[in-house]
Structure 1
Amino acid sequence: MDLQLLAALVVGVAAIVLIVLRTRLDAFVALLVAALLTGFVAGSPLTDVLDSITDGFGSTMGAIGIVIGLGVGVGKVLEVSGAADALARAFVRLLGKGREPWAMAGTGAVVSIPVFCDSGYVIMNPLARSIARRKRAGYVTLALALGCGMTLTHHLVPPTPGPLGVAGILGADVGGLILAGLAIALVLLPVVVLYARWIGPRLEAHVLPEIREEVYGTTARAATTAATPAHPVTSSGTGGAAAPDGPGSTTEDAIEGATEDATEGPAASEREPRRMSAWLAAVPLLVPLVLIVANTVATAVDRNTQGVLTGDDYTPAGYAAVLGFVGSPVVALLIGIVLAVYLLLPRATPRNQVGSWLAQAAASAGLIILITGAGGAFGKVLRDTGVGDELAETIAAWSLPGVLVPFLIATLVRLAQGSGTVAMITAASVTAPLVAGLGISPLVAAIACCAGSMVFSYFNDSYFWVVTRFTGLDGVAALRGWSGITTAAWLASLPLVLLAGAVL
């Protein structure tokens, strides 16, 4: 491998770690500094590095910036209207006590098959917050389970764009990859939930104060401070936001026995206490999701009809073109926020009050959007400097069991530049001419590319910033929680990849 490119990668990652953990500067600045240092050490002209930063930031914002803004707006209306609480009550009653992390992981896995992780997480996060608020504990567990449940199917199951592109490049059967990806995701789901349940209570005390107050309200914060001033992790394992109901209480007791005062969110004092149907509450969530799913399915069917799986030569036609418009995340969420405002809020709600709530949502989304864009900028610099390609070519030259070659290429490219989709596509591109010589089938190679790309989501992954900022984790806590759970899923997938290599 080119040592200069390796040094560029090391310097960039080290800069992020040092700035985030040891200075008063935030992650947005750290990512931009790392991007500049990486490009400089790699030997790229400074003007090219600046172009990569602006291109990466702009393309990331074009893909997710508007979606985050609209999604946070929908979430705010769900919160202040009482709709999120209604959904939480119905959600927990349906699934039973003690199974909330399983429910969030499973829901995330289903939602993320057609929806990008970033969009899906923004849409579903209010449910995790509302359930945690009702239980008075467990938000980190729920948030991590939801996020990594989405990661599993986003990386493994077509018609998510990454796996679909891998199938096209390698010539793998899309139907076979869907079945294999679903089977692997189902096996990995318990790993995700168990890790989230193990690490979540240990990280509750590390949730940023503003996020803790948004989730649990001032009552929970005061109760936590009074209960555990010196030892934030309690013996019952609920972390710094220990439930005031006691270790013997049940989820149903917490939900049914909670008063409006005890379940206040950040804006609960601003809204009228009101009950509503869970079905009505779900409309602003379900309509955007259904539209996005319909767009994904219609596009996949239309691509198959036209015989085009990848490439820029595809042009949607007929119903696929219509659904491609209304089912785009931007339009779908725009419809969702209109439905939220006019269906969930009382008719007497003043216009300026609605505007105030949406302004609060925009303010909370601002830093998330900036950090997400900076993560995209850093990833773009890493790609443009050739670090990912150099790693891929190096690992492909090693003498390894055939199925491990695409797996490790995807792993190293993911570590180098952050995007799971780019990692699996790069691995598939490098592996495609090697498949016959490796003695594996195209389907096995596709599975390996997809599974290998799940490893250690960290600073150069825009989804890392979406999950950790919404969860309220920073620094080492973010690495232990989110980077840890994605690595656990990646590690658990390795024996499944080896088994697929032996069987398929």
Structure 2
Amino acid sequence: MSDTAILINTAVAVAAIVVLIIRFKFNPVVALVLGSCYLGLSAGLGVEKTMTAITDGFGDIMAEIGLLIAFGVLIGAVLRDLRAIERLVEALLRAAGPQRIPHAMALTIATFLQSIFLDVLLVISAPLAKAIAPKLGRFGTARMATALAIGLECGIVFTVPGVGALALAALLHVPLGTYLFYGLIVVIPTVAISISLMTFVFTRGWWKPEVDELPQPDAEPAPATRSDDPGAPRTAPLLVLFTPLLVSLLLIAGGALADVLEWKNPVVSFLSNPVVALMLGLIGTCFIGRRLIGQSTVEASLGRGLRDSGQILLLNGVGGCLAGVIALTGLGDILGRYFSANTWAPLLLVWLMAAVLHVAVGSVTISAITSAGLLAPVAPVLGLNPVLIALAAGAGSLFMVHLTSNTFWLLQSLLGQTTRGTLKTCSVGVSVASVVAMGPILALSIVL
């Protein structure tokens, strides 16, 4: 089949996936599988090769990230019932002070709390952010809503074990330790700069509380819980609650450092394996949970975590289906002839493709996975470091979080914003982060 025909059929497959999700309200999992089937058959792979590519692609992704996603979500579920996130935000407020809390909260969410399912993390942290907002003055709601939106969405795609980051690393065969290291280099300045830019424009007259915020009834103070109440759950120092997760991330990072230094040690290699590291983190978190809230509560937390992880696992797996079919069509060789490795244009192409897909589909994870799958075969042809393609796809997938996003509506309702206000804090705020992120990514392309 000619190169032109393969390019056309690939474009039709991606467009069909978008139309099925947006126009006909298909579940993204079904739409991605149907698009993969169409591409394989229309590209002349035949039924057998198409189905083999789909099943192998799904299996390959699950083999790489299935347990990682499950362990990460389960850790987050137990931490939720330990009230670890609420206590962490309260500690940040005391340490950073009201004026610096938006940056502190967003950076913490983006770099440290990505084991927690996004909607759960948002539902837990939003009421805390709303309570903090009046302490920041006239623009408090705008600043806290923007901080939450940027921290949550950037963390998904740039920070291990965020579900988007895990999928991007798996599709492009990037070691998780490597992705963790370079993702932190990108996400920290991106979050800090983006929030500062949005704060600047808000305080220059762009935020108007009378039209951007909903009228709020006077809240009744919540009754205080006495620490000596026999019905209150036991507590532990905050550092103790997060130690297992922190140790897991340090083990993964240590493995990446050992690889860079070319230091081989079987014990280090075993403990720094991401599956082993997160498994140890889950065991440690459950042990702490059993001591503080009891075995039955921990079991209930794990049950909720397993239910939350099901859709995430399927969605990431079908991203591998599309990538597997694309690899067999030879799209990588075709696109590789149009771009050279000594320019930054390919990275901007990755960003643009992910951005367009996100505007159409409205899902950060789907757009990142689809664009990475489309361009994964190009990496060997171009000679680009795959981690750069993964990060650029993640950055592009952040562009224009809008009305089709569950995060958009949760931020609107939980922070007391109008739709107009949420378009400013969430849609524009995360889009600014999407563009800002390309700065450190392009800088990394010079040295990688």
Band of TM-score, shorter chain:
0.5 to 0.7
Q: Structure 1, residues 381-406: CA drift from partner, whole Å, max 9, x if none? A: 22322223322312349xxxx63444
Tell whether the 8 Å contact from 1:403 to 1:501 is kept in structure 2 after alignment: no
Name the CA shift for 1:352/1:184 in 2 (closer, same or farther; >3 Å): closer
Which residue number in structure 1 is paired with residue 127 of structure 2?
133
TM-score, length basis structure 1: 0.60
Coordinate RMSD, CA, aligned: 5.0
**Which one of 306, 310, 324 corresponds to residue 366 of structure 1?**
310
- Give the Cα–Cα distance (whole angstroms) in 1 for the partners of residues 248 and 173 of structure 2: 24
Query: Secondary structure at the residue paired with 2:236?
Result: coil
Whole-angstrom CA distance in 2 between matches of 1:196 and 1:38 = 41
* Percent of aligned pairs with the same amino acid: 28
**Distance of 2:125 and 2:267 partners within structure 1:** 36
Question: Which amino acid in the other structure matches residue 389 of structure 1?
Answer: D
2:343 pairs with 1:407: no
Residue 131 of structure 1 deviates from its aligned partner by 2.6
Report the CA distance between 1:377 and its aligned residue.
1.5
The code of the aligned residue for 1:337 comes to: L
Aligned residue-pair number: 386
Aligned to 2:325: 381
Q: Match of 2:98, SS?
A: coil
Change (3 A) 1:334 1:500: closer
Question: What amino acid sits opposite 1:366 in the alignment?
Answer: G
Which residue of the other structure, out of 122, 147, 157, is the alignment partner of 2:115? 122
- The residue number in structure 2 matching 1:280 is 240
Q: Aligned in 2, Cα 1:34/1:448: closer, same or farther, shift over 3 Å?
A: closer
Corresponding residue of 1:355: 299
Equivalent position of 1:301 in the other structure: 261
Cα deviation for residue 370 of structure 1 reads 0.8
- Take 2:224 and 2:81, find their aligned partners in 1: how far apart are those partners? 12
Offset at residue 5 of structure 1 (A): 1.8
Q: Deviations over 1:60-109 (max 9, x none)?
A: 11222111211111111111122222222113322332545533553466
**Shift in alpha-carbon separation, 1:97–1:428, aligned structure 2, 3 A:** same
Conserved 8 A contact 1:188-1:492: yes
Task: Tell me if structure 2 keeps the 8 A contact 1:82–1:274.
Answer: no
Deviation at 1:29, TM superposition (A): 0.8
Residue correspondence of structure 1 range 422-501 to structure 2 within 5 A: 429-432=380-383, 452-454=392-394, 456-457=396-397, 488-489=432-433, 491-492=435-436
Structure 1 unaligned segments of length 5 or more: list them: 112-119, 155-159, 167-173, 199-232, 247-253, 262-270, 306-316, 433-441, 459-463, 474-478
SS at match of 1:377: helix
- Structure 2: runs of 5+ lacking an equivalent: 132-143, 161-167, 201-207, 226-230, 358-366, 411-422
Q: Distance in 1 between matches of 2:327 and 2:428?
A: 24
Counterparts of residues 90-489 of structure 1 (less than 5 Å)? 90-97=91-98, 99-107=100-108, 121-123=114-116, 129-136=123-130, 141-148=147-154, 151=157, 188-190=190-192, 192-193=194-195, 235=210, 237=212, 259=223, 272-302=232-262, 317-318=264-265, 321-346=266-291, 349=294, 351-396=295-340, 403-408=343-348, 410-411=350-351, 418=369, 429-432=380-383, 452-454=392-394, 456-457=396-397, 488-489=432-433
Cα offset, 1:32, TM superposition = 0.9
| Change over 3 Å in CA distance of 1:92–1:49 after alignment to 2 | farther
**Is the 1:380–1:417 Cα contact (8 Å) retained in structure 2?**
no
* 1:34 CA displacement: 1.2
Q: Residues 194, 379 of structure 1: CA spacing in aligned structure 2 closer, same or farther, 3 A cutoff?
A: farther
Cα distance change of structure 1 residues 59 and 471 upon mapping to structure 2, 3 Å threshold: farther
